[in-house]
Structure formats: structure tokens, C-alpha cells
Amino acid sequence: MTAKSATRAPGAGTVRGARFGAQPSDLMDAINVSIDVDKRLHGEDIAASKAHCAMLVRQGIISEADGDAILGGLDTIAKEIAEGRFSFHRSLEDIHMNVESRLAELVGDAAGRLHTARSRNDQVATDLRLWLRQTLDDMDAALAGLQEVLIDKAEAHAGTVMPGFTHLQAAQPVTLGHHLLAYVEMFGRDRGRAADCRRRLNQCPLGAAALAGTSFPIDRRMTAEALGFDGPCANSLDAVSDRDFAMEFLGLAAVLAVHLSRLAEEIVLWCSDAFGFARLSDAFTTGSSIMPQKRNPDAAELVRAKTGRVIGALTTVLVAMKGLPLAYAKDMQEDKEPVFDAADTLALCIAVITGMVQDIAFATERMKAAAGEGYATATDLADWLVRVLAMPFREAHHVTGRLVRLAEQKGCGLEDLSLEEMGAVEAGITADVFDVLGVENSVKSRTSFGGTAPDTVRAAVAEARRRFVD
């Protein structure tokens, strides 16, 4: 714990003002001070202060001279921070007081007028909304990049046959391109949720002041517009107490993290010796300190594990908020750490998954061979019985089951049964049944919309490019 007397900065005591005689205890500082976390909001805090200042001048609430001094001072502070010359002081609690205190040093009395008709409550809500808006935009761009890489791979592997799984058991052959496009859809929905969140958060709390609004003739529309918001928050109590945007962000972040984790898990499985479907580049593989033969997919495993942090962040904020009466309570200060951590974690994980997908090499022959294992074309056989022999599907399912059992007893594939053996089970079966028993023919036949046939996948690739990339 820092010895407060030694680190107390000029301008200290601004937050407490004249109301207090003694300084807070070290323990009070330890639990209360947020500058180490919220200094990250400096850009947003200064932008919001500039918008507020310009509005105060325009409304005649402060003089033009004071306004100019304040705006100049804020620019200086932005520069000092950008150049690493700004000293943040724990004694000034948070980013808002650090900026205001430095402003007082730079421009004197005029600085004290900036806080007219506002409060840290509407300041912090505004800053965090601005920060999240930018973060959502960055996340959208990163996800679009990931989708593009997946779409490129899907196009290259539109005709690559692999087993499609249910219950992690080979179910029906699919194409790898089709499989990869499934993730393009998932990330597309993540982008949709991010866009929804962005739309709803884009209202400006500034001017709600502490909770009740203000007696000064402010223009909240002006500040909202200057900061790129669609308009001011309609209710001042809601404006300072609402953290839906943080919860929504973390909600969509948690779903996105789950999607990344599922893809990471598939990469781990595919690269295992047992599957042997893929190989990660050296760039995304680690070795073992004891087993020289190992190529470990640590990056994929870490993406999978980091999902826990993001889900944890959502839980943290939901629980922090759930018992809060209107309007502001200091509990809300605890929103920033999880929001920042989830955003950082996701930015890293999206970049890592993008890199891995770009570099991964697929063992297409091995995938195709695996696609034929486990009687994966049994449904094709049943469909053939329905189509050619006009059998009801339930009966075809039964006949196919008997043929699978026969093949199992003989230890061979369905396509290895002779026509005589098949005829003994179902007399109507003819030699052209063998056409549907190969995996290539199986996938080729699945031309229904959204299906796995190579040509259908090529069309889906073009459509995905149009929807998500172009």
C-alpha cells in the first residue's frame, strides 16, 4: 500500500473539498482509488470535457475566455498523456479528478468552472459508453477479418470431404468448406449482437449531472451530437445508473468467447494424432520440454480457457448491478476492470484464431478416409431405398440398420457388401445403390439450401462474401 502522505499530489483533496478535515486512511484509498484502471478512459474523458465546455460557452454559462483556457488546457493534457509526460496521482482517485486537477494547474481558476452542470456520475457513464463504442467497432472489424479468412479457406475446401459428427461420432460426410462456413454464420451473429449493443448504447448521459439534471440552461443535444451520440439519455436517473451497455457488451462477449472456444476445441481435436485432420504451423505450435516429438496446440487451448475470464466478467458485472437502487452507487466503479479485461481478452483471442485458421494445413486424404468410416453413408442408403424403391422412410431406416449390422459382423464397409448379400436383406436393391455409398457422391447429393454439396458450398461462399466482407 502506498504511503499516502508521500504521494499526495498538488490539488489533492479536490474530491473531498471542504467537507472533510482529515485525509482518508490507506485502506480507504486501497478500496476506493480507481485511477490504475480508469486512466484508460483518458481520451474519452477529455473529449467529453471538451464537448461539455463548448456547450457551456455556447449557452452563456461560462465565458468564452474561460472556455478557451479550458479547451487549451485539455489539449495540453491530452498531449502530455500521449507523450507519457502526465503524472497520474492515486490521491486524485480517478481519471476525472486527475484531469481536472491538472487543468487547474495549467489554467488556474477557469478550470473550476468546467464542472458546472455535470458530475463524475454522468462523466463516467459517458466515458465508458464512448470507450465501448470504439471497442465494438474494433471488434466488428476484427471479426470481419476472421470471417474473411474462414471464407477463403471454405472456398479452397468446398469439395474436401470430411466426417460430419453428432455426439462426436461420424454421422454423415460433409465438406470442410461447409463446416468452416458454420463458424462464419456464428461470427456473423456475434457481429449482429455487437451492432445491436452499439445502437442501444449510443445515447449520451452527459448533463444528467449527479442524478437529477441541473438548473443551468444546458443543451444536452449539443453535447450528445458533438460526441457522436444519437441523442441524450431521456431520464437523468437512468442515465447515471444504467450499465446495460456494459452487461450487454459482456453478454455478447461471452457468446463470442464461447464460439471462439468451440473453434479452438475443434482445432485441438483435428490436430490430435487420433484425428490427424490438420497440422498447425510452427508459428502456432509449442514443443514439450520432455517429449521431443510433441507439437502442442497451446494457442488453441488458451483461447478455449480464456473463455472463462470473459464469462466471469459478465457474472461480475451482473452480480455487482443486481441489488443497486437508483441512481448511482460506487459499486458501478467495479464495471470497468471486467469490461476492459473481456475486451482485451477477446481482441487477443480473435487475432490468434485468425492467425491459426490462416496457417492451418488440412490432411485432406485422411479426412476423406475418416468420412467413410463408421457407416457414415447409411442415411444415403436409406434415402436411396425411399427414392428408388418408394419405401417409407421408417422401413428404409430398418432395412439399412440390418445392412449395417451385416457389414459390422463382416468387419467391412457398406460399399464392400456384395449385391447378393444386400439382396438377401432387401430383394429390390440393384447395383446402382453403390453410387450413393461413396462419400463423394453422398456430399454431392446434399444440394438442399444450406446443405453440404460442393456446388452449394461455393454458392454459399459467394453469398457469405456479399453478406459479411464486401
The reply to whether 332 sits near ligand ARG by the rule CB under 6 A is yes
Identified catalytic residue from 5, 87, 167, 289? 167
User: 159-181 in b/e burial notation, b at 16+ Cβ within 10 A?
Assistant: bbbbbbbeeeebbbbbbbbbbbb
Which residue, 211 or 388, is less far from ligand ARG as judged by CB? 211
Residue of 333, 354, 377, 442 that binds ligand ARG (CB under 6 A): 333
| Three-state secondary-structure class, residue 296 | strand
Which residue, 40 or 58, is less far from ligand ARG as judged by CB? 40
167 is a catalytic site residue: yes
Q: Is 324:271 a contact under the CB 8 Å cutoff?
A: no
Least distance between ligand ARG and beta carbon 210 (Å): 7
Of 119-127, 340-348, 414-422, 453-461, which part binds ligand ARG (CB under 6 A)?
119-127
Least distance between ligand ARG and beta carbon 119 (Å): 7
Identified catalytic residue from 25, 63, 281, 288? 288
Dist CA 449 CA 19 (whole Å): 70
Q: Where is 264: in which H helix or E strand? A: helix 244-271
Residues of this chain, 29-48, that bind ligand ARG according to CB under 6 A? 34, 38
Query: Is omega for the bond preceding 327 within 30 degrees of 0, making it cis?
Result: yes
259 is a catalytic site residue: no
Which residue, 124 or 346, is less far from ligand ARG as judged by CB? 124
Least distance between ligand ARG and beta carbon 94 (Å): 4
| Sign of the alpha-carbon dihedral angle for 62, 123, 200, 323 | negative
The reply to whether 236 sits near ligand ARG by the rule CB under 6 A is no
First-to-last alpha carbon distance for the chain, in angstroms, is 53
**Which residues 6+ apart lie within 8 Å of 140 measured at CB?**
191, 194, 195
DSSP string for 128-193: HHHHHHHHHHHHHHHHHHHHHHHHHHHHHTTT-EEEEEETTEEEEEEEHHHHHHHHHHHHHHHHHH
Which residue, 124 or 246, is less far from ligand ARG as judged by CB? 124
Show the binding pattern over residues 310-329: x = contacts ligand ARG (CB under 6 A), - = does not. Answer: ------------------x-
Q: Which of 202, 197, 296 is nearest to 256 (CA)?
A: 197
Least distance between ligand ARG and beta carbon 278 (Å): 45
Angle at 87 between CA 44 and CA 23, to 5 degrees: 100
The reply to whether 91 sits near ligand ARG by the rule CB under 6 A is no
* Residues contacting ligand ARG: total by CB under 6 A: 10
The reply to whether 204 sits near ligand ARG by the rule CB under 6 A is no
Which residue, 328 or 340, is less far from ligand ARG as judged by CB? 328
Query: What is the binding site for ligand ARG (CB under 6 A)?
Result: 34, 38, 94, 120-121, 124, 328, 330, 332-333
**Residues identified as active-site:** 167, 288
